Copies of this chain bind each other. A is one copy, B any other.
Amino acid sequence: MRSTIKVFQVLETLCMDNPAGVAELSSRLAVKRSSMHRFLSVLTHQGYVEKNANTGKYCATLKVFQLGVSVRNKLSLIHLARPYMEELGRKFHETINLSLFIENSVVVIDRVESLETLRIDHGIGRRLPAYCTALGKVFLANLAKEELEKYCEEQKLQAFTKRTVTSSKELKRDLKSVREEGFAIDDREVDDGIRCISAPIRDGSGKVVAAISISGPSTRVTLQRLKSFKRPIINLTAEISRKLGYG
């Protein structure tokens, strides 16, 4: 089903990148202009794409967004974790994130926002690198040895701040302690202004299926204050894990 696959590639391109015309898309995806025109007609008729009347370029519509949202909303984990996350948000007035580990990245699927003017705000759906975030380290620490090895080979450990761990040897040492302690910290490793703490959620089989974090601006969330979040977040994730049948 080559053409169907191509049509999905067209849709993905329009979702991720800027609006584009027939010719641009046809050269980028190696499809003849006439075929691309047909693909775009189909996508338009199905409501996934629309043609801007002024520029003549095609762009993705919010139908894709709505479909995606309904997928997200079916995750029972979100509804289960929500009240706990809100409780934590009210308690500390910092942003609480719930995330999954998808294709070597952390994906934020829900959050409770701090109402402070200065606060952390990864948008929902945002993909974050794993090796330098608290959430990510929780997932990496609980990978099978071969999987972690594979991750280290595939992932370039780019430095975002001078604290970012860029050697896989050092990373593995860090992860060992994350595994033993049951929580992870990101002390300005992805951004000089951010500190974050995270702990794992496990399902009935003990597998780490998600992670929750508390993150805040480093000016307000000192290392000391961050560490004071440790017990509450570990208790919270343990409680959610218990509801998933763990322990």
Interface residues of A (CB under 8 A from B): 1, 3-5, 7-8, 11-12, 15-16, 38-39, 42, 46, 48, 60-62, 64-73, 86, 89-90, 93, 100, 102, 107, 109, 112-113, 115, 117, 123-127
Q: Is A8 a contact of B46 with CB atoms below 8 Å?
A: yes
Q: Is A16 a contact of B70 with CB atoms below 8 Å?
A: yes
**In the complex, which residues of chain B have a beta carbon less than 8 angstroms from the beta carbon of A11?**
67
The smallest C-beta distance from A35 to any residue of chain B, in angstroms, reads 10
**In the complex, which residues of chain B have a beta carbon less than 8 angstroms from the beta carbon of A7?**
1, 4
Q: Is A48 a contact of B115 with CB atoms below 8 Å?
A: no
Among B60, B69, B107, B123, contact of A123 (Cβ-Cβ < 8 Å): B69
The smallest C-beta distance from A145 to any residue of chain B, in angstroms, reads 22
Among B39, B62, B90, contact of A102 (Cβ-Cβ < 8 Å): B62
**In the complex, which residues of chain B have a beta carbon less than 8 angstroms from the beta carbon of A8?**
46, 48
**In the complex, which residues of chain B have a beta carbon less than 8 angstroms from the beta carbon of A60?**
67, 71
Q: Is A109 a contact of B1 with CB atoms below 8 Å?
A: no
Q: Is B48 a contact of A109 with CB atoms below 8 Å?
A: no
**In the complex, which residues of chain B have a beta carbon less than 8 angstroms from the beta carbon of A93?**
115
In Å, the complex CA distance between A117 and B112 comes to 12
In Å, the complex CA distance between A22 and B100 comes to 28
